[in-house]
Structure 1
């Protein structure tokens, strides 16, 4: 696709993932409009392209605003959401459920504006939680809107994302609006905050926390996927998926928090002198989660390219260069539960 003749709207485009997508689309020559209410995003994340994009600070829960920002847009990447790490979604179910309203408003505005294509960032949290006690790679067909018992999502956040998928499919069905759904798995990298597991562990090494806290027994696994791979996947989904079907964007490797911590200790050249303390009373979510991306690869050509070790190294480099130890130590526990 020639992106140089496309005008793209990125909702949540100043956020962790959104800012990387913004930079990538600008590099491809697209005209980019970012809409973000800055509840978790930061304008500093898009400083490098600030003179090349249009930025609008606004709340898309307002239908009038949502309609306004669609003017002149060809393609939409809908990333805006109320979300955070496991601690946040466990403590803020009502906030996370508001995504159902947000998604419906954005999709309604896009359909009325006859937008060429919408790409929606869903989540691996839509997958049934009861099948994630063992190491089973999750395939897209494990969620079904047609079969009885075809859905059993992960907390209110997962259910809201699943309803977002259903809403987008409905707009494709009724209005013919081309769309793609990307189910993301445990994204990490520069600009992510401490409410997410991997960056939380990086932060604890940064402040030299000892004993070193790991939520749960540390054996729970996730398919940690580097942000540049996710961004590439979103663009490929936009280019190749038109029928509002879902594709997985995530690694197929089950990576434990204990392994992440060991890599961080090795790469920073530091380890806690009082050892690791596993906090069994903290929320950890499902036991195991990783995605089968074979369908995505067949449909779009996507596969993750960043190795875990290199991705962690780049995340550590960014975090250590852009934070102050004393500042991070202040209210550190609250950072783990924030957006």
Structure 2
């Protein structure tokens, strides 16, 4: 399909991933509306296209605002959520639980207003935690709504995302809305805040933290996936999937925290005298990487950016946009605020 002239709503469109998606859609000729409460999103994230889009400020957990946001819309990209890094989702489970209400209000409003399709930003946190202690790539069929015991998500945030997927399938079944869900694996890139691992490491290194703090033993792995690969997957899913079938968007490479930190140290040409491994901190699952076979088959998608390229792009942005003294003085606040 062509996005030229398509009326598109991006919920959470001023957020890290959402703002990149908004820019992509504007470049494709879409008429874009952003709905955001700006609790974590920032107006600066969308300033490059603010004259070309419509911006609505409000809380999508409120029916009237969700109704206004979805009126006269063809496609909804639903990215709005209460979320943060590992520390946030561990410490604020009730906040994350409200995503179940948020998702269903957006879906209901979209159905009432006759939207054609909804694309949902889901998460790798939907996958069972017990199968992520060893290195095995996660495939979509490792989660099942049909089998008894077929789901065991990662913390309340993961359960909320999983219920968001199931609710979306229900709206497809009942209202015949085209639906898709993209399970995002450890996204990072410009505009992400310091509560997530890659940018947290950048902030600590940029501020010269010594001893340098790493949660866990540093050997836990993630498949850090650059934001532009994620937004391309979201667009392709909306174009190609109609029945809510979930697809992974992530790299298949296992990257340890220690490896990610070394890339950052090398690029900054700095390293600490000592590293403090904080094994009492929440670290989540031991290993996580995506099987992208389904995305390749259904979407023709595979990641373009290497971890090294993505970190370089993100670090260039970070150094250009963050004052070193400010980061140093406010480091603890930056690392823990959503």
Which residue is equivalent to 1:51? 51
How far the C-alpha of 1:335 sits from its partner, in A, is 2.2
Secondary structure at the counterpart of residue 121 of structure 2: strand
How far the C-alpha of 1:5 sits from its partner, in A, is 2.2
Which residue is equivalent to 1:270? 270
Do 1:76 and 1:117's aligned partners in 2 also have CA atoms closer than 8 Å? yes
Alignment of 1:110-121 (within 5 A): 110-121=110-121
How far the C-alpha of 1:338 sits from its partner, in A, is 1.9
Which residue is equivalent to 2:122? 122
Q: Counterparts of 1:62 and 1:161 in 2: how far apart (Å)?
A: 19
Which residue is equivalent to 2:292? 293
Alignment of 1:160-239 (within 5 A): 160-239=160-239
Do 1:14 and 1:34's aligned partners in 2 also have CA atoms closer than 8 Å? yes
Q: Counterparts of 1:65 and 1:57 in 2: how far apart (Å)?
A: 9
After the TM superposition, which segments of 4 or more aligned residues of structure 1 sit over 6 Å from their partners?
none
Residues 174-197 of structure 1 deviation map (CA, whole Å, 9 limit, x = unaligned) = 111110000000000000011000
Q: Counterparts of 2:96 and 2:132 in 1: how far apart (Å)?
A: 22
Which residue is equivalent to 2:98? 98
Which residue is equivalent to 2:281? 282
Q: Counterparts of 1:186 and 1:338 in 2: how far apart (Å)?
A: 18
Do 2:203 and 2:331's aligned partners in 1 also have CA atoms closer than 8 Å? no
Q: Counterparts of 1:178 and 1:21 in 2: how far apart (Å)?
A: 19
Q: Counterparts of 1:306 and 1:295 in 2: how far apart (Å)?
A: 19
How far the C-alpha of 1:113 sits from its partner, in A, is 1.1
Unaligned 5+ runs, structure 1: none
Q: Counterparts of 2:125 and 2:237 in 1: how far apart (Å)?
A: 19
Q: Say if 2:331 is the partner of 1:329.
A: no
Residues 148-171 of structure 1 deviation map (CA, whole Å, 9 limit, x = unaligned) = 110000000000101111110111
- How many residue pairs get aligned? The number is 338
Give the TM-score of the pair, scaled to structure 1.
Answer: 0.99
Which residue is equivalent to 2:23? 23
Do 1:107 and 1:171's aligned partners in 2 also have CA atoms closer than 8 Å? yes
Secondary structure at the counterpart of residue 322 of structure 2: coil
Secondary structure at the counterpart of residue 315 of structure 1: helix
How far the C-alpha of 1:276 sits from its partner, in A, is 1.3
Residues 120-169 of structure 1 deviation map (CA, whole Å, 9 limit, x = unaligned) = 00000000000000001000000001101100000000001011111101
Which residue is equivalent to 1:34? 34
Secondary structure at the counterpart of residue 336 of structure 2: coil
Which residue is equivalent to 1:89? 89
Do 1:87 and 1:336's aligned partners in 2 also have CA atoms closer than 8 Å? no
How far the C-alpha of 1:9 sits from its partner, in A, is 0.1
Which residue is equivalent to 1:253? 253
Do 1:10 and 1:77's aligned partners in 2 also have CA atoms closer than 8 Å? yes
How far the C-alpha of 1:64 sits from its partner, in A, is 1.3
How far the C-alpha of 1:222 sits from its partner, in A, is 0.5
How far the C-alpha of 1:329 sits from its partner, in A, is 2.3
Which residue is equivalent to 2:11? 11
Give the TM-score of the pair, scaled to structure 2.
Answer: 0.99
How far the C-alpha of 1:74 sits from its partner, in A, is 0.4
Do 1:9 and 1:75's aligned partners in 2 also have CA atoms closer than 8 Å? yes
How far the C-alpha of 1:112 sits from its partner, in A, is 1.1
Which residue is equivalent to 2:133? 133
Q: Counterparts of 2:114 and 2:71 in 1: how far apart (Å)?
A: 10
Which residue is equivalent to 2:71? 71
